[in-house]
Amino acid sequence: MCSVGCSTLQIVEPFSACLALIRTVPGMNKNPMTAITILSEIGSDMSVFPTAKKLVSWAGCCPRNDKSAKHVKSTRISRAGSYLKPLLVQVANALINSNAHPEIRERYRRIKARRGHKKAIIAVCKMLLTAIWNILSTGEVYNPSGYILQSPRPTPETKVLTQKQALELLRIRGYIIKDDPPQPASA
The pLDDT of residue 150 is above 60: no
Mean pLDDT of the 176-182 span: 76
Instruction: pLDDT band for 5, please (50, 70, 90 cuts).
Output: low
Looking at residue 168, its pLDDT comes to 87
Task: Considering only residues 8 and 144, tell me which one the structure prediction assigns the higher pLDDT.
Answer: 144
Domains of the chain, residue spans: 7-146
State how far the alpha carbon of 28 is from the alpha carbons of 77, 114, 167, 174, 186, in Å: 23, 28, 49, 43, 55
Alpha carbon 108 to its chain centroid, in Å, reads 6
Looking at residue 153, its pLDDT comes to 60
Q: What is the pLDDT of residues 63-82, one digit of tens each?
A: 766 677 777 776 677 777 77
Residue 68 pairs with which residues in a beta bridge? Answer: 71
Looking at residue 178, its pLDDT comes to 80
At 106, the amino acid letter reads E
Residue 77 pairs with which residues in a beta bridge? Answer: 63
- Other C-beta atoms closer than 10 Å to the C-beta of 88 total 26
Q: What is the pLDDT of residues 80-134, one digit of tens each?
A: 777 888 899 899 999 998 888 888 888 898 889 888 888 889 889 989 998 898 8
Mean pLDDT of the 35-60 span: 86
The pLDDT of residue 137 is above 80: yes
Instruction: pLDDT band for 11, please (50, 70, 90 cuts).
Output: confident
Q: How many helices (H) and strands (E) does the chain have?
A: 8, 2
Cβ–Cβ under 8 Å, residues 135 and 25: yes
Cβ–Cβ under 8 Å, residues 73 and 90: no
